Amino acid sequence: MISAELVYNGERYLVSVDRPEGATAARIDERSIEAEITRLSPDCFSLRIGPKQTTVFVARSDEKVFVHVGGRLFEFEEAGAQGGAFAGGGGAVADGSVSSPMPGRVVKMAVQEGQQVEKNQVLVIVEAMKMENPLKSSVAGTVKKIHYAEGDLVDAGKPIVEVEPAEE
* Sequence-distant (≥ 6) Cβ neighbours of residue 117 within 8 angstroms: 111, 123, 137, 140, 141, 142, 143, 163
Choice between 66 and 162, residue whose per-residue pLDDT is larger: 162
What is the pLDDT at residue 82?
37
- The CATH 2.40.50.100 portion of the chain extends over 91-165
- pLDDT-derived band at 19 (thresholds 50, 70, 90) equals low
Mean pLDDT on 63-91: 64
Q: Look at residues 106, 123, 122, 100 and name the one whose alpha carbon lies nearest to residue 44.
A: 100
- As a residue count, the chain comes to 168
Pick the CATH number of 2-82 from 3.30.700.30, 3.30.2310.20, 2.60.40.3620, 3.40.630.30: 3.30.700.30
Pick the CATH number of 91-165 from 2.60.120.20, 2.40.50.100, 3.50.50.60, 3.40.50.300: 2.40.50.100
Give per-residue pLDDT as tens, 23-43: 667 777 778 888 888 878 878
135 pLDDT above the threshold of 80: yes
Q: Look at residues 106, 160, 116 and name the one whose alpha carbon lies nearest to residue 142.
A: 116
What is the pLDDT at residue 150?
95
This prediction's pTM: 0.50
What is the C-alpha to C-alpha distance for residues 21 and 42, in angstroms, rounded to an integer? 12
Mean pLDDT on 63-75: 83
CA dihedral sign of residues 52, 53, 54, 57:
positive
**What percent of the residues of the chain are helix, what percent strand, and what percent coil, each to the nearest 5?**
0, 65, 35
What is the C-alpha to C-alpha distance for residues 115 and 142, in angstroms, rounded to an integer? 6
- The CATH 3.30.700.30 portion of the chain extends over 2-82
How far is Cα of residue 132 from the mean position of the Cα atoms in its chain? 13
